[in-house]
Amino acid sequence: MSWYGDVQRSQDQVCVVFNELYPNRSPINQSTVSRLVKKFQVTDSVKDSAKSGRPRTATGGDGALEILLSVRETPIQSSKVLTYTFDVSHQSVKNVYLNR
């Protein structure tokens, strides 16, 4: 059973209410609600946990923004210069520029 407002509802009822409130989204099913309830009970949040692995540096966050701003200020800069300026790989500069 889940709480929705002042009423306690089953997971199937929560699915029906959600799907009626958000008809433009793809419909959810009972297993989705069950998984979210379980995640909330364990972590007090439904946000995804941090992913393992090496964090993105050049192509994520402020690094990409700095590279794009530099290109905008000086459009004739070569990717080699950007590589040395921002201490990132040539491929990272290329990825930032192509995925803008």
pLDDT digits (tens, 9 = 90+) for 70-93: 888 888 888 888 888 888 888 888
For the chain, the residue count is 100
Tokens of 3: 């709480």
- Interval 7-65: pLDDT, tens: 788 889 989 999 999 999 999 999 999 999 899 889 888 888 887 887 666 666 677 88
User: Does the pTM exceed 0.75?
Assistant: no
Of the pLDDT bands very low, low, confident and very high (cuts 50, 70, 90), residue 4 is low
Instruction: Please report, as a single letter, which amino acid is at residue 91.
Output: Q
What is the C-alpha separation between 46 and 39, in angstroms, rounded? 6
Count of beta carbons in the 10 Å neighbourhood of residue 19: 14
